[in-house]
Structure 1
C-alpha cells in the first residue's frame, strides 16, 4: 500500500533529510462501517529536500485507495467552507471578464459547491474529481463531471479561461507534471488559481492534523515558483487565509505581470523553513499539546462531565490517533454528514452518530477546529444553556458561559 520515496516529488533530487515521524496511523479519510473492519495503516513521517526545500511525506501511498468509495469529505456541508468558495467565485467574476461560453475547470471539484456558484447561463463548466461519482447527485445538469484524476488529455479541444484547484495540489504524486498539464490547457489569457495548506501557517498554528496520508506535499511559495518558472507560468498574485489551518492562494498565468516585490518579500520570510530547528520546535509544541489535551479530557471525565466529539473528519482522525483518544475518553462523535452515521473513526474506533441525538452533553470537542466560526454559530443554543466547546488547535481553548 505504501513505499518509501527515494526522490523529491518535484525536483527528483535524492538528498532527502528526515524531519520527524508522527508514528503509524490508520488511513484517516476512511470511516469503517464496523469496529472490526480492518483499515490499513502506514507511517506519517516528513522529509525535506536539500535541493528545492520541499517538505513532503517520506512514503508514497496508493491514491486510488485514499480517494476511493469510502472517502468522506464533502464541501457543501459546512457554511464557512461554502461561504469561502462562493466568495472566491464572486471575487473572480468581479475581477476577470469571463464570458458564459468560456471553459472553466475545477480540479478536485468534490460536490460542485464552487462551480455551482457561477451564473446558470455559464454552460461550459467542468468538475474533475476521482470521487465525483459519489457526489454526482449534487451536480446541476449544466455542469459536466469527469469522475477521474485530472489529465490534459480530457481537454484537447479547447483552452480554459479559468482553472481552479482548491485543497488538492498537495495530494499529487507528481505535482510538476500536473502543473505542466495545467499549463498546456490554459488559455494564453487565462488564469489558474490554486489554494492549499501553507507550510509556514501550518507550523504557526500547530496544525499537525494537516499531516495525513493524502497530503503528500507541504508547500512554501518557493516550490510553487520553482515549478511555475519551469512550465512557463508567472505568479500574478498571492494571498493568505485561515481556511484549513492556514492556506495560501496563488494566481498563475502565462501573461506578464508577476508581482516580483510581493513574491520576493514572501520568499525571504520563508528561508527559515529550510532549518531543521524550525521543525524540532514544532514537534515539541505537538507533544505539549497532546499532553494538555489528554490531561483535560481525563480531568473532565473524573469530574463526571460528559464530553463528546463533534465533526468526524480526516483531520480530526489524525488528532485522535496522535493523542491516543478512544471511546473511553470520547464516547461518541456527532456529525451532520449522513454517510458517516453509524460508522466509526479509523484506529480510535469511536462511534459516529447524527447530531441532535446526543443527551446531557457538557462539552463538545470540535475536531474541525479550523471551521470555528461555523461551530460557534451552530452551537449558540448549546452555549446559552451552559454547554462548552473545546477547540484543540491552534491552542487548547474552552468557550462557554
Structure 2
C-alpha cells in the first residue's frame, strides 16, 4: 500500500476494524445462502503527508453503478442543501447566466434548489438508479464518474462552472489525484469550489470509527485537504465547520491565480487541529482504544437488555451502521431487525450482520422496548420522528459517539 496523495509507503496503523463486507451491499433473501466477500477495514495514516486512508480494496464501479443511498430520504439533509444553495447564490452572486455543477449529485436533493432559483445547473452522478430519480425531479444529470476526461467533456458541452459542489464525495475516490484534476477541469478560472467532507478532528477525538468504511478511501483534516487540492492548482481560501455526519468541514477553494489569502476561519481550524494533535503522528494513537471502548459499552448494554427479556430493534440502515454492527459482532439475537425510510432497502438484509430491514411503520405495530438508532448523526431529526415511541415508553438509544438515550421532552441521559 502506498499513500494515494504523496506516494509514500510509510503508513502507520490508526484503527483496525477487522474484515467486513462493503457497507452498501445489502442482501436479498435469495443471497443469504451465498458466499459474502469481506475485506480488511484498516485505517492508516501516511507518515509523510498525514493523510488518513484505507486500502482501495473495492472499486467505485462495484458500489456506485447502482446505489442504495438516496439523499432525499433525510428531511434535515435536504434542508441543509437548500440553505447551502441559498447562501451560495447570495455569496457568489449566482444568477441565470451562471452555472453550478455538482459532482456525485445523487437524486437531485441539492440541485433541485438551484433549479427552483432559476440558476442553470448540472449534476454528475455515477449511479444509474439515483441519477434517474434526479432527472425525474427536473435536475439535468449525466451518468458518469468524474475524472479529467469527464471534466473536459462536460466543460466542452456546458462551459466552465462558476461553482463546483462536491459534497460527501471527496472521501469516496481512490484516484484522489485524478479526481482533483477533474474538479479543477470543471471550474472556471475565476470560479469557486465547495467541498463538504467529514472532518478528521471529531473522528480522532471521539473515536467515530463507524464513519470508516470501504467506500470512504480517505479522511481529511484541513491540512491534508489543502495538500490534496494543491496538486491541481487549487488553494483553500475559507472553511466552515458544520455539524453534519458527526462533524464536517465545508472547504472553499479557488484556482491559484485568483485565490485570496486564507481566511481567519482557515487559520482557526488549522490551529484547533494542531492543538488536538492532528498535525503530528502521535495525535492518532488513541483511536483504537476509543473504538474498543464503544464496542464494549454497546455490547454490554444490549446483553443486559436482552437478559431482561426486552425486544430490541434498530432505526436506519446507513453505511456507518453496518460498520458498527459488523465490528461489534451484533446479529439478530441482539438486534431483531431495523427499519429504514428508503423503500429500496425494504425486504433486504444488512451486509455481514444480516439484520432484516423493514418499513418504519413496523416500529409502530411492534412497539419494541428499545430502539437503537444507527444514523446517530441525525439525532435531532430522528428523536422528533420517534417522539411518540419515546413518550410511550420505548428506550431510544444512540450508540455513538458515546452511548446515550433520548428521553421525553428531548432530554439526553447517559446509559
Fold match by TM threshold 0.5 = yes
- The match for 2:59 is 62
Structure 1 Cα separation of the partners of residues 174 and 68 of structure 2: 21
Contact 2:152-2:185 within 8 A present in 1 as well = no
1:312 matches 2:317:
yes
Structure 2 Cα separation of the partners of residues 377 and 179 of structure 1: 39
Structure 1 Cα separation of the partners of residues 105 and 307 of structure 2: 45
User: 146-155 vs 213-222, which deviates more?
Assistant: 146-155
Cα-to-partner distance string for 1:162-218 (whole Å, 9 max, x where unaligned): 110100001111222222222222112211100011111212332111100010001
Q: CA deviation at 1:97?
A: 0.8
Q: Which runs of 5+ in 1 are unaligned?
A: none
- The match for 1:125 is 121
Q: Secondary structure at the match of 2:285?
A: helix
Contact 2:196-2:248 within 8 A present in 1 as well = yes
TM-score (norm 2): 0.90
Q: CA deviation at 1:232?
A: 2.4
1:16 matches 2:19:
no
Q: 1:360 aligns with which of 367, 379, 395?
A: 367
Cα-to-partner distance string for 1:263-309 (whole Å, 9 max, x where unaligned): 34433433422544433312111111111101111111111111101
Q: CA deviation at 1:103?
A: 1.8
Q: CA deviation at 1:121?
A: 6.1
Structure 1 Cα separation of the partners of residues 37 and 191 of structure 2: 41
- The match for 2:27 is 32
Q: CA deviation at 1:122?
A: 3.0
Contact 1:116-1:140 within 8 A present in 2 as well = no
Contact 2:114-2:120 within 8 A present in 1 as well = no
Q: 1:326 aligns with which of 304, 322, 331?
A: 331
Structure 1 Cα separation of the partners of residues 230 and 285 of structure 2: 31
Q: CA deviation at 1:92?
A: 0.7
- The match for 1:84 is 80
Structure 2 Cα separation of the partners of residues 104 and 132 of structure 1: 21
Structure 1 Cα separation of the partners of residues 369 and 297 of structure 2: 19
Q: 1:369 aligns with which of 373, 376, 382?
A: 376
- The match for 2:233 is 232
- Aligned pairs, number: 395
1:152 matches 2:157:
no
1:256 matches 2:259:
yes
Contact 2:198-2:220 within 8 A present in 1 as well = yes
Q: CA deviation at 1:38?
A: 3.3
- The match for 1:167 is 168
Contact 2:162-2:192 within 8 A present in 1 as well = yes
- The match for 2:413 is none
Structure 1 Cα separation of the partners of residues 13 and 302 of structure 2: 32
Contact 1:129-1:148 within 8 A present in 2 as well = yes
Contact 1:190-1:253 within 8 A present in 2 as well = yes
User: 14-23 vs 268-277, which deviates more?
Assistant: 268-277
- The match for 1:389 is 396
Q: CA deviation at 1:77?
A: 0.4
Q: CA deviation at 1:239?
A: 0.8
- The match for 1:208 is 209
1:267 matches 2:270:
yes
- The match for 1:294 is 299
User: 116-125 vs 364-373, which deviates more?
Assistant: 116-125
TM-score (norm 1): 0.93
User: 388-397 vs 170-179, which deviates more?
Assistant: 170-179
Structure 1 Cα separation of the partners of residues 133 and 226 of structure 2: 37
Structure 2 Cα separation of the partners of residues 226 and 374 of structure 1: 35
Cα-to-partner distance string for 1:109-128 (whole Å, 9 max, x where unaligned): 11000000114363631111
Structure 2 Cα separation of the partners of residues 340 and 46 of structure 1: 28
Cα-to-partner distance string for 1:329-348 (whole Å, 9 max, x where unaligned): 01111111111111101111
Structure 2 Cα separation of the partners of residues 211 and 195 of structure 1: 16
Contact 2:240-2:265 within 8 A present in 1 as well = no
Change (3 A) 1:210 1:67: same
